[in-house]
Structure 1
Amino acid sequence: MVVELRVKKELIDQDGIRRALMRISHEIIEKNEGLDDIVVIGIRTRGVSLADRIAAKLKEIEGQEVQTGILDITLYRDDLTTIANQPIVHQTEIPFDITDKKIILVDDVLYTGRTVRSALDALMDLGRPKNIQLAILVDRGHRELPIRADYVGKNLPTSNQEVIDVDLEEVDGRDLVILKEYV
C-alpha cells in the first residue's frame, strides 16, 4: 500500500514568513531586554536557515551582531533506527562556548516535541547555558512531551492525518508553508 500526500492548502507565503520572523525577532529583543549574551542556534536543516534570518533581523533592528550556530541532532533522536539503516550524520557547528549564554533555539515546525528534546540533550552535552528559549515558525500541536515554544510565528492546529511542509528559499528554492494530507 502506497501512502501519498496531497496539497490541501497553502498556509503562509513569503511575506507571511518574513513578517513572522520579524515579529519573533522583536519579541526576542523585548523579552531579553536587548541582545546581551544572546546566541541563535538552528536545528538542522530548515532551523538553520530560520536562525540565520532571525540573526540578520536582530542585527537590523539593534545594530548588534549575534553569534549563530548549527545543531545536528541525528544521534540524539529516539527514533534513529526507524528513520534509516544508515542515517546521515552532519556536523554540529557551534564555534563558541554556550556556557552562560541565552540560547535561542530555532526550528521550523513544533509537533510532538521529540526533536526539541533531542536538541536540548545535544546542547547540554556542549555546555551549561544560562537559559534556552525556543523559536518556532509553525506550532501544529499534538505534543507528546511537555515542551512549549517561547516564540511562535504561527499556530496552525492540524489533525494527525495532516502534515505541515515548510519550504525555505535556502533549501527548497521558495518560501512557503503548505498543509498536506494523506490520501
Structure 2
Amino acid sequence: MTVTGNIILNHQQIQHKTRRIAYQILESNVNEEEIIVAGIATNGFVFAKKIKAELEKITSATITLCEVMINKQEPLQAVTTSLTKEQYINKPLVLIDDVLNSGTTLIYGVKHFLDVPLKNFKTAVLVNRNHKKYPIKADFKGISLSTSIQEHIDVVFEDEQSKAFLI
C-alpha cells in the first residue's frame, strides 16, 4: 500500500512504542494470570496482535486476543467480539485501536464491554490526536499529536515496513 504524507512514526519507532505499551499493560496487571487484549478491527486488531506478541515475551501470564468488530460508519449497530462474554468476565481487559481521533470508535467499544463486570479495564492507542468529541482517553498511548481537524493519520502495518503518516 502506498501512502503519501509526512511520516510521524517509522517501523522502528512503532516497534519501540509497542514494546513500551506492553510493559505498561503488564505493570498495571502484574499479578494477573490472564490478560485480555481486545483490538478493534481492523488496524486496532493488528496492533493488538503486536502488543500480544510483546507481552508474551515478558510475562508468563496467558494473553488472550479478542477481535472487536465495530461498524465505524454506523457505530450504533451492535458491537461483536471474537470471544464470548463468559471468556472475559472478571478479567483484566485492554481495548486497543491504532488511532484515537474523535473517540467515537473507542467509546462504542468501551460501551460494549461495560455490560460485563471486568477486573480492570484500560485503553491503548498508537496515536492519540487530541480531537475528542467524547470524554474518552487512552490509558496507554504511543504518541500524542496535535493536528488540525482537516489532517488525517494513517497507520500502515507491514512486516518490516510499518509506518504512521500524517496526511
Please classify the TM superposition score into its range, dividing by the shorter chain length: 0.7 to 0.9
> For residue 66 of structure 2, what is the aligned residue in structure 1?
69
Structure 1: tracts of 5 or more residues without a match: 1-5, 81-88
1:102 alignment counterpart = 92
Q: How does 1:7-156 map to 2 (within 5 A)?
A: 7-74=4-71, 77-78=75-76, 92-94=81-83, 97-125=87-115, 127-156=116-145
1:165 aligned partner: 154
* Secondary structure of the corresponding residue to residue 158 of structure 1: coil
TM-score w.r.t. the length of structure 1 is: 0.80
Deviation at 1:121, TM superposition (A): 2.2
- Choose 1 or 2 for highest CA Rg: 1
- The one-letter amino acid paired with 1:175 is S
How big is the shift at 1:120? 1.5
Q: Take 2:118 and 2:70, find their aligned partners in 1: how far apart are those partners?
A: 17
Given that residues 35 and 66 in structure 1 are in contact (C-alpha distance below 8 angstroms), is that contact kept between their aligned partners in structure 2? Answer: no
Gaps of 5+ in 2: none
1:178 maps onto 2:165 in alignment = yes
> Which aligned runs of 4 or more in structure 1 are off by greater than 4 angstroms?
none
> Aligned-residue CA RMSD in angstroms?
2.4
Q: Is the 8 A contact 1:47 1:107 kept in 2?
A: yes
CA–CA distance in structure 1, aligned partners of residues 51 and 143 of structure 2: 15
Normalized against structure 2, the TM-score is what? 0.87
